[in-house]
Structure 1
Amino acid sequence: MILLGVDFLRSHWRGLRRFGWVTLIAGVVIFIDALDGTLFFPIEPFACLLLIEGCATLMVAHSGMGGQRVLRYVKGGAFTVAALLILAGHHDGNFVLAMIFGTLFMFDGALQIASALVVRYRRWRPAFWGGIVEIALAIFFFQPWPSHYEGTVPYCLGLGLAFAGWNMFILANRVKSAAANPGLKGAVFMEEADIPPLKVVEWDGPPSDDEKALTVHVWTPAGSAPSETIPRPVISRYIAAVDRNGVISTGHAALESPGGVYISLYPAELIDQSPDEFVRLLRATPENNVAGLFQPDYATEAAKWCPSTRKVRIRNYNEEKLKTFWESYRQNESYNLTYRNCSSSVARALEAALEGSVGRLWHKRGFWMAMGKLMSTPELWVALQLRKRAETMAWTPGLVLDYARALSMLADPRPTGWLNTSGRALKKMLQRRAAWGKGKSEESVTED
């Protein structure tokens, strides 16, 4: 909804709703079909398609840039391993898949329940019950009833299709009557028709330093700590880093645009981040709100502290939507460590600036082409998971950094299809061969 935009989706809400119904019914039928252990759904052809996609992705993964390369390897490896386990068949392959899926559901559900009880964000009760459902699904995968693990793959496929169809149906109903994007908070947006479409739909890499682009600045917890930190890779990246003196550093995030918008929220007075007080401050409740202070610009902030340790730059954004959001958001200067902090401010501003960015790129090629391009890009799934985790826990500089990187590859798309990549590789080989032949001809003329 954020990336395609409400105006782009509203004109196709009927098609979205039909597609949602078809997907939902297909998911329910596939799930019920697997309950008796006698499968009518063609698992082997599905696994072969999965294997082809995984191998093709691995073949061209090296052509990605930065995080895109890693994500391609992860996607290709996961598809290939899952396909091989499905094709292995019988008890062993299905049992291993059931244990993997059960563990993932159990871990995600437990994490969601714990974060709901600790942070107490606005929708923590629905999230708590959602975690209960995930743990119930984990138990369902762990135990052999009713198909002795033979239905593991159809169960997952059916659940995935059913939930996707239901979400598509809800999306269609929301965009049917929405005046603005209900996924974004604190802003009123212009009509998308006022924004000229971009002529370029794909770029070879990130913006150059002299190119006009939106910039997300991130001071990582370890990089901004006052002294050497204790090595804790995942915790230090996504939550906080602790130095040798026991001081906690959470890092910082800010957003800067060429149009003069700079969003960087600090607490007006330093918050006590000792281990005893830190746990209490995790509650996203009104009693933890304190006075906040917006920094004037990046140059001033960097001079007072230090330059940002990471930057993510995005070409395809809307300056006017960002300014509209900023004018509304800056009216409230309160600060909350988990609910309204520097990172959540940047995440919401980034979403406001990118609202409709993908729809602007692909609207001339048709709605389903835009949907297909978006859904086939692995960074969409990554952005979704990061946003879900941040909304149910708290936005942190580490989450904002990875979220901005994923959104940058969606708003400024790079060529991702393996056929396109293979075609470019072949074209480059022919160009090199032609250049080599030309060089040999010139050398022959020189010798004569």
Structure 2
Amino acid sequence: MTAHAAPPALWPAPYATGAVDATVQVPGSKSVTNRALVLASLAAEPGWLRRPLRSRDTLLMAAALRAMGVGIEETVSSSSAAAAGAADSGEAWRVIPAGLHGPATVDVGNAGTVMRFLPPVATLADGPIRFDGDPRCYERPLHGVIGALRALGARIDDDGRGALPMTVFGGGALDGGPVEIDASSSSQFVSALLLSGPRFNQGVQVRHVGSAVPSMPHIRMTVDMLRHAGAQVDTPESGGEPDVWRVTPGALLGLDLTVEPDLSNAQPFLAAALVTGGRVLIPDWPAHTTQPGDRLREIFTEMGGSCRLTDQGLEFTGSGRVHGIDADLSEVGELTPGIAAVAALADSPSVLRGVAHLRLHETDRLAALTREINGLGGEVAETEDGLRISPRTLRGGTFHTYDDHRMATAGAVLGLAVKDVDIENVATTAKTLPDFPALWTGMLGN
């Protein structure tokens, strides 16, 4: 008899009986943590990451770098963490660069940053580095990184798939130089090459050819962090050619970086204030940031809330009404599931545009959102590049996540206003937001 794995448990999404009023300490940014780990590993001297995110994606990144020879020491100050009111507040990671080497095997899980940022690092290793991961990672696009690295002189065996699994045969160095790439399916293709570019013999010049690059704020984040580490980077915004990014070869400084809260992971909590007409405070919200999640202030205000940035953080207040929105989300595609959930509860229709690339994320997010919201009685239709959402009275039911953390949090938002919503596999939120169920019920005072 063949044994079958038990289906993931259903999590009854808490229903809000009144307006929320809570302070929620959001853990550190995954995007910042994983970029910082790569930069610190390629630096000429040891560095520190303070208040990093501990989640599946960041632990996969740390484990992969350790497998290639980097030293990463984790320290926790329990007293400072308790004083700050968050389990990870007193944590710091000491990153000690070393000679990168193989053979090694990297488990990317289903983390786009790991599967895309580390193959360029692996070209600098002495020996073969094999990349593998969850079944879904085989379906996610990697051809841009693979093709670019081959054009720059790397030897890669992917059996012609343009996707994982694959082996990078590191030669201890890479010539680098100019390369063309189509990054229209993921901005991470550009970031991947830029992050390792300072260590290439000729640096790197990345020219994007193709339709618009999605999620441009993430490239700006990469550039900002490279410059913080001492790299010289020329960009279209700094007077360079359109769609061309150039990194000069040179040594990287050891980082001493405090990781910002993950503003995209603040989304469900801000949505809770909007949906229930309540108030949520997110401590330590930065006044200036490259994180795409900062757009939530604008988007959720347009949908009916109000916000103010204080010395304590971002205070967001719902008005008791939720309005539909017509929005181009091409730069902030990761926010789409949460916005779609709020839009399904609005008093007017919404159109979410510019996010065709979401079909290539952890799951096909456009198809998944359509199926799951409609499964609760909603009216969502896919368009060529997004979703059209017409609010309807929703009913309870099972909301499937497809192993996608943002699907799980979107379902939790719907559950605030709709009784008897059960989230399948809420544990997938551990990818970027550890202990989400406890944070969520704590926000509601449960």
TM-score over 0.5 for the pair? no
- Smaller-chain TM-score bracket: under 0.3
Question: Greater strand share, 1 or 2?
Answer: 2
Question: Greater helix share, 1 or 2?
Answer: 1
Q: What is the TM-score with the length of structure 2 in the denominator?
A: 0.27
